[in-house]
Structure 1
Amino acid sequence: MRKTLMQKLNHCLRVGDLPAFRRHFNLQTVYLRGLEIAPVAGLLPSCEGGDDVVAEFLHQNGLRTVGSADIAGWRPLHYAALGGNVEVLRGLLEKRADVNRRTWKDEPMFGFPPWMSALDLAVFLKHQGATRLLLEARAHLNGGFSPAVMLAATRDNADGIRLLCESGAHPLAQNLLGNTTLGCAGGLAAAEAIEELVVQGRPGSLDLSRALFDAATLRGGTAELVHRLIALRADVDFQSNVPRDYKTLGRLVLAAKSWQHRRGRTSALTAIAYHMHGSTPLMQAIRSAQFDGAAALIAAGARLDLCNCRKWTAADFARGQSIPHFLQLGLEGDPQLHFGIAGSEDLKAQSLNPEQVARAGRQLAAYSGTDSVALDSVLSSKTSRPLANLPVHYNFGGSSASVLDSVYGSAIQ
Structure 2
Amino acid sequence: MYTIDLAAVLQMVKIKPHEELLADGALTLFDENTGRAAFVSHQWVAKHHPDPDHRQFRVLQDALRNILSGVTQISVDVITELIIGKSPKMTHSLHPADLYIWYDYFSCPQKENGRDASKRYDSDLAKAISSIPAYIAKCQLMFVLCPVIESREGRTVLGPSSWANRGWCRLERLAKECSGDGSFFMVKSARHVELVVTSFASSCESSPGEGCFTVEEDRSNIAPVVKQVLKQKVSQCLQNGDLPSYRVVLNAQAILCRGLPMETIADVVPGFDSSQHESDDAGSLLVAKFLFQNGFSQVCEYDAMGWSPICYAALNGHAALVKALLERRANPNDETKKGQPLLALQKMVPVLGISAFFKKNNAMTVLLEARADVSPRGSRPPPLCLASFGNNATGIQLLCQARANPNRKNLLGMSALQHACATGACDAIDMLLNIGEGNLDLSGSLHAAALLHGGSHTTISRLLEARADVDEQFRPRPWGTLQLFFTMKGLEFRLKRPTRLRTLGYHHRGATPLMVALLVGHFEAAATLVACGARAHVENSRKITAADLISEVSTPEFLKDASAGDLEDTVSVLSQLRLRRERSSFNRRVSSLLLNGTRRRGRN
TM-score normalised over the length of structure 2: 0.54
Pairing partner for 1:38 from 260, 263, 266: 263
Distance in 2, matches of 1:151 and 1:196, equals 14
Change (3 A) 1:94 1:233: same
Whole-angstrom distance in 2 between the partners of 1:23 and 1:7: 14
Distance in 2 of aligned mates of 1:156 and 1:260: 33
Map 1:2-401 onto structure 2 (within 5 A): 2-42=227-267, 43-47=269-273, 48-49=276-277, 51=282, 52-143=285-376, 145-202=380-437, 204=439, 207-243=441-477, 248-321=480-553, 323=555, 327-332=559-564, 334=565, 367-368=568-569, 394-395=572-573
Instruction: Tell me, in whole angstroms, the C-alpha distance in 2 between the residues paired with 1:11 and 1:303.
Output: 52
Q: Which moved more, 1:265-274 or 1:66-75?
A: 265-274
- Show CA shifts across 1:115-166 (max 9, x none): 1121111111111111111111111113353210111111111111111111
SS of structure 1 residue aligned to 2:534: coil
| Aligned residues of 1:103 and 1:116 also touching (Cα < 8 A) | yes
Distance of 2:373 and 2:442 partners within structure 1:
27
Aligned residues: 347
**Counterpart-to-counterpart distance in 2, 1:241 and 1:100:** 35
Cα distance in structure 2, aligned partners of 1:177 and 1:41: 40
Q: CA deviation at 1:44?
A: 2.3
Question: After superposition, what is the alpha-carbon deviation per residue over 1:11-30, rounded to whole angstroms, capped at 9, x for unaligned?
Answer: 22222211112111111211
Secondary structure at the aligned position of 1:2 is classed as: helix
Post-superposition shift, 1:75? 0.6
Distance 2:451 2:296 in 1: 43
How far does the alpha carbon of each residue in 1:323-364 deviate from its partner, in whole angstroms, 9 at most, with x for none? 4565445434x4xx8xxxxxxxxxxxxxxxxxxxxxxxxxx7
CA distance in 2, matches of 1:111, 1:234: 29
- Could you tell me how far 1:198 is from its partner in structure 2? 0.7
CA distance in structure 2 between the aligned counterparts of 1:404 and 1:230, rounded to whole angstroms? 15
Query: What is the rounded CA distance, in whole Å, between the counterparts of 2:367 and 2:384 in structure 1?
Result: 14
What is the distance in 1 between the residues matched to 2:239 and 2:532? Answer: 58
Deviation string for 1:272-326 (max 9, x for gaps)? Answer: 2111110011212333444454344345443333211222111111122454565
Deviation at 1:37, TM superposition (A): 2.0
> In structure 2, what is the Cα distance between the partners aligned to 1:65 and 1:195?
42
Structure 2, unmatched stretches of 5+, are 1-225, 582-604
* Cα-Cα RMSD: 2.6
Kindly provide the CA deviation profile for residues 31-56 of structure 1, in whole angstroms up to 9, marking residues without a partner as x: 22222222222212223216511111
Q: Describe the shift of the 1:303–1:5 C-alpha distance in structure 2 as closer, same or farther (beyond 3 A).
A: closer
- Equivalent pair of 1:32/1:39 in contact (CA under 8 Å): yes
Find the counterpart in structure 2 of residue 353 from structure 1: none
Shift of 1:216: 1.9
Q: CA deviation at 1:265?
A: 2.8
CA distance in 2, matches of 1:226, 1:30: 27
Q: 1:203 to 1:279 in 2, by over 3 A?
A: farther
Letter in 1 for 2:277: G
CA contact (8 A) 2:384 2:404 kept: yes
**AA of the residue aligned to 1:145:** R
Once residues 403 and 358 of structure 2 are traced to their aligned partners in structure 1, the CA distance between those partners, rounded to angstroms, is 20
Q: Which residue identity is paired with 1:84?
A: G
Determine which structure has greater relative contact order: mean sequence separation of CA pairs < 8 Å that are 6+ residues apart, divided by chain length.
Answer: 2
Name the structure where strand makes up a greater proportion of residues.
2
Q: Cα distance 1:327–1:403, how it changes in 2: closer, same or farther (>3 A)?
A: farther
1:402 matches 2:603: no
CA distance in 2, matches of 1:263, 1:192: 41
For 1:7 and 1:102, how far apart are their aligned partners in 2? 29
Q: Secondary structure at the match of 1:256?
A: helix
Deviation at 1:196, TM superposition (A): 0.6
How far off is 1:204 after superposition?
4.9
